[in-house]
């Protein structure tokens, strides 16, 4: 029996986009998440999390369209770094 069933959401929110940000902790690496209904909302939430964790070596390690189950981490990071999203 699979642990994750297709009909049960595997993220604790109803937003379309989900990102995981890995950062350094005292005993190992931890994860923080960012969410949004649009890519701009996601980018703003990621910017907030990166600023909050700036002294702990944060890295975006996973970006996903939860509704379509599409992982697009590399593409998102490239666009984010180019300033494609209107991040304030």
pLDDT tens digits along 54-65: 999 999 999 999
Q: What is the CA radius of gyration of the chain?
A: 14
Please give the structure tokens belonging to residue 49. Answer: 């999390």
39 Cβ partners below 8 Å, 6+ apart?
A: 17, 76, 85
What share of the chain has pLDDT > 70, as a percent?
86
What share of the chain has pLDDT > 90, as a percent?
68
Instruction: Please tell me the pTM assigned to this model.
Output: 0.83
Q: For each of the chain's 88 residues, which pLDDT tens digit applies?
A: 444 455 556 788 889 999 999 999 999 999 999 999 999 999 999 999 999 999 999 999 999 999 998 999 999 999 988 888 866 6
């Amino acid at each position: 029996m699979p642990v994750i069933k297709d009909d049960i959401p595997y993220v604790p929110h109803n937003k379309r986009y989900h990102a995981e940000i890995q950062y350094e902790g005292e005993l190992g690496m931890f994860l923080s998440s960012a969410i949004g209904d649009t890519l701009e909302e996601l980018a703003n939430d990621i910017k907030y999390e990166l600023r909050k964790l700036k002294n702990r070596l944060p890295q975006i390690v996973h970006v996903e369209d939860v509704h379509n189950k599409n992982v697009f981490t590399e593409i998102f990071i490239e666009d984010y770094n180019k300033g494609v999203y209107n991040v304030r």
